[in-house]
Structure 1
Amino acid sequence: MTKRLVAAIALAVPLAWSGLAHAAADDDALVARGAYLSKAGDCAACHSAPKGKPFAGGLPMTTPMGRIYTTNITPDPDTGIGTWSEADFERALRQGVAKDGHNLYPAMPYPSYAKVRDDDVKALYAYFMKGVAPVRQANRAADIPFPMNMRWPLKIWNAVFLEKGVYQDRSGKDVAWNRGAYLIQGLGHCGSCHTPRGVAFQEKALDETGGAYLTGALLDGWFASNLTGEHNVGLGRWSEAQVAEFLKTGANAHASAFGSMTDVINNSTQAMNGEDITAMARYLKSLPAAGGTNAPRYAYDPNVTKVSLARPASDAGAKVYTAYCMHCHGVDGKGYAPLLAPLAGNPNVMEKDPSSLINVTLNGAHVLVIQGIPAAYPMPKYAPVLNDQQIADVLTFIRAGWNNGAPAVAATEVAKLRKSTQAAD
């Protein structure tokens, strides 16, 4: 009897250890998957303030109602989400309701995250509970005056605009297309920036079935680019490989990242695997042209611009371009892509709304850091160097040059954005 008991114990112990080891390995794999998905969702970009600790919140975000600050989503039990259950986490992620029941502002892209599937929610929860270091940092209250700071109207907003239900594969589409659609519409929440919003701050469309989806939008002083197949201001002239190249590196033969898209490249898409990047590019390239103008299809023409840039330059904008821009972007406007962005045929240059061009000229571009290596030639800031009229002149010259055919820029537009971006700093 004793021998049988000893033998049973001897057999049970290694089996128990083996079971624990398998459980630990499964747990580690879930956390690792959640870490990857958090990059796909670009959680760090919003929930980490400059020079702050990862996911501790505090990043200011400007909304039509006032400034709000992102929250601490580390597992700290007092100031973060350390006491949240998986159900609490899912409710905040997909429904915009915090553990204590208050509604989140839709600057948190929960209308997109509503499409995230259950297994991915589970992996994200595992990562934030077990893979993120807790940080004790209290959340900062929003700078929104009464009565706009009341949260209860958001319940009505959700009832009207929140579409519940995870992403369902589209019949007739292949695996790559559906994977790309799931990532773009869900975790990637591309529509949060690139889709115009209505009077209630709702996205006018949440997928490709809406004509406004990803047609570009003004947000926080930047115009997020048109991502449809529009020939001039969208991705119509980009190949699928060029879209993938941009997502991995932030630059290609047509354009370079600027504004918050730099953070997306730095924190999110460059870390995604090639299969997912290809899927996202395939989905984007499938979108029909929308949101453009009635301008003729772009075709490069250097002749008129070449005359304007002849020494001495023949107009005010050409003079500024010759002095400050030509050494990087060239007489031909083609730059030295992907190191230095082209201006000829650049969709952002031809966009009707010049906000991004004004902003990047005033304040420069955040540095792209790809695989730990900073970009060699980031766009410098010219706010201290050029006045409003000079910036308006040079951007008007660029937008008319090389057959870009975009409207002129007024000095008043520059002054307005200079004031708002300086106030934001």
Structure 2
Amino acid sequence: MKKMLKGLGAALCVALPFIAQAPADAAAPSATGAADQTLVQRGAYLAQLGDCAACHTAPKGKPFAGGLPMNTPMGRIYVTNITPDARTGIGGYTEADFARALREGVAKDGHNLYPAMPYPSYAKVDDDDVKALYAFFMHGVAPVQQANRESDIKWPLNMRWPLMFWNMAFLEKGAYRDKPGKDVAWNRGAYLVQGLGHCGSCHTPRGVAFQESALDESGSAFLSGALLDGWFASNLTGEHNTGLGRWSDEDLRTFLKTGANRHASAFGAMTSVINNSTQAMSDQDVAAVSTYLKSLPPVGGTGAAAYTYDPQATKVSLDRPANDAGARVYTAYCMHCHGVDGHGFAPMLAPLAGNPNVLAKDASSLINVTLNGTGDLVIDGVPSPFPMPGFAAVLDDQQIADVLSFVRTGWNNGAPAVGAAEVAKLRQSTQAGR
């Protein structure tokens, strides 16, 4: 929320192998009665809350047929076919099989799923919602015969059996239970954020075993921001500078529904979260998520004083761009969208002054989006008219470092400078295979 990014938060929002075997000519899902169709429709909504399509649908691929590559610390994996095709999808899964894979990370044939699949979050999904999701994937999704692709992870890291011990150490079984003393909206928001929304998968730091450092608000690291696949998924706590401390409830609701507000715009993996998931949330659920997130105390951040806007020094520098390499690049390539005052033209064009992503200690997201741009936000079927373009082919590493250092110190942002070596490293990792 995910990625904010986007992605949030490249997010790792991955739902991994649900694998089954059956005939290539598997029939279309059977017709369902009126009561069952209501369940299917509810499951479709829940699948949107879980953003299943973003991970299980490859670019230009068929819905939920898999094939999307995902990078992990161990190597590249490919998300799997979760259509009801019985040979290559999950058509042979019973509801119990489905529930076990979803909440425990164990496939029908007994092999363990990589924890890139956010089953530690989905473990909190209750039985009624599991039933509705199963109904949707069996009766609301068209079967697609598309074989799953093996991961690129080399032996011995590709062995699955050690994951049993990972689950013993890090998987907390049991559906979410309402917290006493909290109202209905708070508990609904906690259920969505911690469960189907699996926000912690991207926004919570991970330990040495790739486990989330916390699974709910009882852990101090929960949703405090995390580096993931070349992006830094934003801090979602009440931290003033890099989190949601300056965001009103309306700001957060607007971001979840449209991907942009007066503080920031979605990019990276968070773009797909907005496109496929949060914009489809009911107003009641958006309000619940906002209620929960806005209740989280401030954690993380840089320890800097509370941000206050000051344009004077930056304005002077832009009046004399020849004296500053970063200002020269900004004047030539950035100023027409983001403005002399750094306010941009929010929400269509993101502000840079006081933007939580600009103020973050880790500049990975800024480097990545400057190099590679971001995908279109598509709200109610209408693409954003001003997506961020990539400058990898236009600016060299030093120029990008210069302009980002200028932005991170401009308008009283006070964030650390960016080095050319940081840019070169992300250029190499994100441009590979393009």
- TM-score w.r.t. the length of structure 2 is 0.92
For the Cα contact (< 8 Å) 2:185–2:288, is it kept in 1? yes
Pick aligned residue for 1:94 from 103, 113, 127: 103
One-letter amino acid of the counterpart of residue 47, structure 2: S
Residue 377 of structure 2 corresponds to residue 368 of structure 1:
yes
Bigger relative contact order, structure 1 or 2 (CA pairs below 8 A, ≥6 apart): 2
Aligned equivalent of 2:352: 343
Q: 1:372 to 1:231 in 2, by over 3 A?
A: same
For the Cα contact (< 8 Å) 1:313–1:322, is it kept in 2? no
Deviation by residue 1:141-184 (Cα, 9 ceiling, x = unmatched):
01001110000110000000000000000111100000000000
How far apart in 2 are the matches of 1:295 and 1:171? 35
For the Cα contact (< 8 Å) 2:321–2:327, is it kept in 1? no
Q: 1:148 to 1:312 in 2, by over 3 A?
A: closer
Aligned equivalent of 1:146: 155
Identity %: 76
Residue 222 of structure 2 corresponds to residue 182 of structure 1:
no
Aligned equivalent of 2:214: 205
Pick aligned residue for 2:343 from 315, 331, 334: 334
For the Cα contact (< 8 Å) 2:221–2:299, is it kept in 1? yes
Q: Secondary structure of the residue that 2:76 maps to in structure 1? A: strand
Aligned equivalent of 1:158: 167
Instruction: Give the root-mean-square deviation of aligned CA atoms.
Output: 0.7
Aligned equivalent of 1:405: 414
| Structure number with larger C-alpha Rg | 1
Deviation by residue 1:354-404 (Cα, 9 ceiling, x = unmatched):
000000000001100000000010000100000000000000000000000
Residue 223 of structure 2 corresponds to residue 217 of structure 1:
no
Deviation at 1:24, TM superposition (A): 1.4
How far apart in 2 are the matches of 1:136 and 1:58? 12
Structure 2 counterparts to residues 216-295 of structure 1, below 5 A: 216-295=225-304
Aligned equivalent of 1:309: 318
Deviation at 1:423, TM superposition (A): 1.1
Aligned equivalent of 1:35: 44
Aligned equivalent of 1:383: 392
One-letter amino acid of the counterpart of residue 157, structure 2: M
Deviation at 1:127, TM superposition (A): 0.2
For the Cα contact (< 8 Å) 1:388–1:414, is it kept in 2? yes
For the Cα contact (< 8 Å) 2:338–2:350, is it kept in 1? yes
How far apart in 1 are the matches of 2:159 and 2:244? 40
TM superposition outliers: structure 1 runs of 4+ over 4 Å: none
For the Cα contact (< 8 Å) 2:125–2:176, is it kept in 1? yes
One-letter amino acid of the counterpart of residue 430, structure 2: T
Residue 84 of structure 2 corresponds to residue 82 of structure 1:
no
Pick aligned residue for 1:296 from 305, 320, 326: 305
Deviation by residue 1:312-355 (Cα, 9 ceiling, x = unmatched):
44200000000000000000000000000000000000000000
Structure 2's unaligned 5+ residue stretches are 1-31
Residue 54 of structure 2 corresponds to residue 45 of structure 1:
yes
Deviation by residue 1:71-100 (Cα, 9 ceiling, x = unmatched):
100000100000100000000000000000
Pick aligned residue for 1:72 from 48, 58, 81: 81
One-letter amino acid of the counterpart of residue 200, structure 1: A
- TM-score w.r.t. the length of structure 1 is 0.94
Pick aligned residue for 2:68 from 59, 66, 76: 59
